């Protein structure tokens, strides 16, 4: 999550980026454009993960994102809102393909929340997003990203009242949303979603001794039509303190997930600790674990980042993911390889 604490999800739904450039503002209608460009060195394993190509080598790569957010007043306290963001990689990767990250439109109902339709984060992100603090890695100790995270065909609602944030999302039918490795039979299965929903709540302490502390709970359920693994339900609980890129920030998220026809639950936890100084230099370290039957490890990794912000818009950073021990999926005693990158990034 790129903004402080979980209530920032409401800000993203309505306005998008803190660096957005206003290009039109007249008679209650606003249009903003935002984006980012980055380039740098990726080691061989980082490129393999990025390109899904086992022949990838270490190289210098780049990518760009462009986004637009718009709003227009319909009547007093009701606005029409729209938001879209797309990403394209450099020539040696997927240069011919723009990947849609967000694409939704709907209504800003003022104190009654925001209701949008399209592609975006599910409500469970309010919790798991507490650990989404790295540029590329981390936040793997749960089932949230299995369907892509930012899912198509959703109805999404979020509202912030006082220190509380409430979210609900409903998933409409969608074929081939993901591939799932059945953990008992070790066979890969397509996941066709017949329906699904997610619900979450969070509370941010805004003053007193607990100021900057946040707590969140979330739950999701998906009906995977004709999948041999059956339906899936998941639960997450998270706790965070501080503000990202402003002094200390730390968070911890626990998740538990279950497929109906798999014998055991998956359990995971992830903790993050970071500190950013007034001069723009910051460091963040995280550890994540995700396991089946509490014995077979699917994720066991350390994620680290050291970044320097020359300005609010321009930064350079090192980020790495380092496996801790061996994992047991897709095969037992699988050796892990280190992935890392050194990038420069400009946001507008």
- For residue range 168-189, list pLDDT tens digits in order: 999 999 988 888 888 888 888 8
Average pLDDT over residues 57-61: 90
The residue range of the domain holding 324 is: 8-347
Is residue 181 one of the residues assigned to a domain? Answer: yes
Average pLDDT value for residue range 74-85: 95
Average pLDDT estimate for 270-286: 97
Tell which residue, 149, 171, 150, 168, has the closest CA to residue 158. 168
| pLDDT confidence bin for 8, thresholds 50/70/90 | very low
180: its two tokens: 């799932």
Residue 196 falls within a domain, yes or no?
yes
3 occurs within a structural domain: no
Q: Confirm whether 206 is domain-assigned.
A: yes
pLDDT in tens, 135-165: 999 888 898 988 888 899 999 999 999 899 9
Q: Name the residue with tokens 């041999």.
A: 228
* 2, 6, 71, 171 from 108: Cα distances, Å: 21, 18, 9, 20
Task: Tell me which residue has tokens 């994540």.
Answer: 288
pLDDT at 52 over 80: no
Mean pLDDT along residues 329-348: 84
Average of per-residue pLDDT across 68-76: 95
Please count the structural domains in the chain: 1
Residue 250's nearest CA partner among 280, 273, 278, 220 is: 273
Q: Is residue 232 part of a domain?
A: yes
Highest mean pLDDT among 108-117, 139-148, 261-270, 321-330: 108-117
Residues in contact with 75: Cβ distance below 8 Å, sequence separation at least 6, in sequence order:
none
Q: What is the pLDDT of residue 207?
A: 87
Write out the H or E segment, with its range, that includes residue 274: strand 266-276
Asked if residues 254 and 235 have their Cβ atoms less than 8 Å apart, the reply is no
Is 117's pLDDT higher than 70? Answer: yes
Average pLDDT over residues 335-343: 90
Tokens encoding 192? 């066709």
- Where do the H-state alpha helices sit in the chain? 8-14, 44-51, 125-128
Q: Is 2 contained in some domain?
A: no
The CATH number of whichever domain residue 219 belongs to comes to 2.40.160.10
Give whole-number Cα distances, 228 to 143, 176, 188, in Å. 17, 14, 10
Q: Look at residue 335 and tell me if it is in a domain.
A: yes
Q: List 35's β-bridge partners, or say none.
A: 66
In DSSP terms, 36 is beta-bridged to 65, 347
Residue 206 β-bridge partners: none
Which of 27-41, 68-82, 282-296, 325-339 comes out lowest in average pLDDT?
325-339
C-alpha 146: how far from its chain's center? 11
Task: Flag whether 1 is in a domain.
Answer: no
**Segment 9-25, tens digit of pLDDT:** 555 555 556 677 889 99
Strands 281-292 and 29-42: unpaired
Least-confidence region, from 20-24, 55-59, 287-291: 55-59
Q: What is the mean pLDDT of residues 60-65?
A: 92
Q: How far apart are CA 78 and CA 81, in angstroms?
A: 10
pLDDT digits (tens, 9 = 90+) for 201-259: 999 998 888 999 999 999 999 998 778 888 999 999 999 999 998 999 999 999 999 99
pTM of the model: 0.90
Q: Where are the beta strands (DSSP E) in 109-149?
A: 114-121
Tell whether the torsion through CA atoms of 230, 149, 215 and 16 is positive or negative.
Answer: negative
Buried b / exposed e over 128-156, threshold 16 CB at 10 Å, is: bbbbbbbbbbbbbbbbbebbebbbbebbb
Stretch 322-333: mean pLDDT: 75
Q: Got the DSSP string for 224-247?
A: ETT-TT--EEEEEEEEEEEETTEE
Q: Quote the pLDDT of residue 292.
A: 84
Q: Where are the beta strands (DSSP E) in 92-212?
A: 99-108, 114-121, 150-161, 164-171, 174-181, 188-204
Terminal CA-to-CA distance of the chain, rounded, Å?
Answer: 18
- Among residues 291, 302, 288, 286, which one has the least CA distance to residue 329? 291
DSSP 334: B
Structure tokens at 15: 């306005």
- Asked whether residue 115 carries a pLDDT value surpassing 90, the answer given is yes
State what percent of residues in the chain have pLDDT above 90.
Answer: 62
């Amino acid at each position: 999550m790129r903004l402080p604490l979980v209530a920032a999800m409401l800000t993203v739904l309505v306005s998008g980026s803190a660096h957005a450039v206003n290009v039109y503002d007249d008679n209650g209608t606003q249009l903003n454009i935002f984006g980012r460009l980055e380039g740098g060195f990726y080691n061989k394993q980082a490129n393999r993960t990025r390109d899904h190509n086992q022949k990838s080598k270490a190289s210098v790569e780049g990518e760009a994102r462009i986004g637009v957010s718009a709003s227009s007043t319909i009547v007093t306290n009701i606005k029409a809102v729209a938001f879209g963001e797309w990403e394209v990689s450099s020539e040696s990767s997927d240069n011919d393909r723009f990947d849609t990250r967000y694409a939704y439109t709907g209504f800003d109902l003022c104190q009654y929340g925001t209701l949008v339709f399209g592609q975006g984060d599910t409500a469970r992100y309010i919790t798991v997003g507490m650990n989404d603090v790295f540029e590329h890695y981390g936040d793997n100790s749960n089932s949230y990203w299995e369907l892509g995270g930012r899912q198509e065909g959703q109805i999404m609602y979020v509202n912030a009242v006082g220190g509380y944030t409430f979210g609900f999302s409903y998933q409409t039918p969608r074929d081939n949303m993901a591939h799932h490795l059945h953990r008992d039979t070790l066979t890969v299965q397509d996941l066709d979603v017949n329906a699904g929903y997610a619900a979450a709540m969070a509370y941010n302490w805004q003053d007193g001794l607990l100021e900057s502390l946040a707590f969140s709970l979330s739950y999701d359920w998906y009906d995977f039509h004709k999948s041999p693994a059956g339906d899936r339900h998941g639960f997450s609980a998270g706790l965070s303190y501080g503000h990202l890129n402003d002094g200390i920030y730390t968070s911890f998220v626990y998740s538990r997930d279950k497929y109906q026809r798999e014998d055991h639950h998956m359990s995971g936890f992830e903790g993050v600790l970071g500190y950013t100084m007034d001069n723009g230099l910051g460091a963040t370290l995280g550890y994540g674990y995700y396991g089946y039957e509490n014995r077979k490890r699917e994720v066991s990794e350390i994620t680290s980042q050291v970044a320097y912000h020359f300005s609010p818009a321009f930064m350079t950073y090192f980020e790495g993911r380092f496996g801790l021990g061996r994992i047991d999926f897709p095969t037992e005693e699988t050796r892990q390889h280190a992935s890392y990158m050194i990038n420069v990034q400009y946001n507008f």
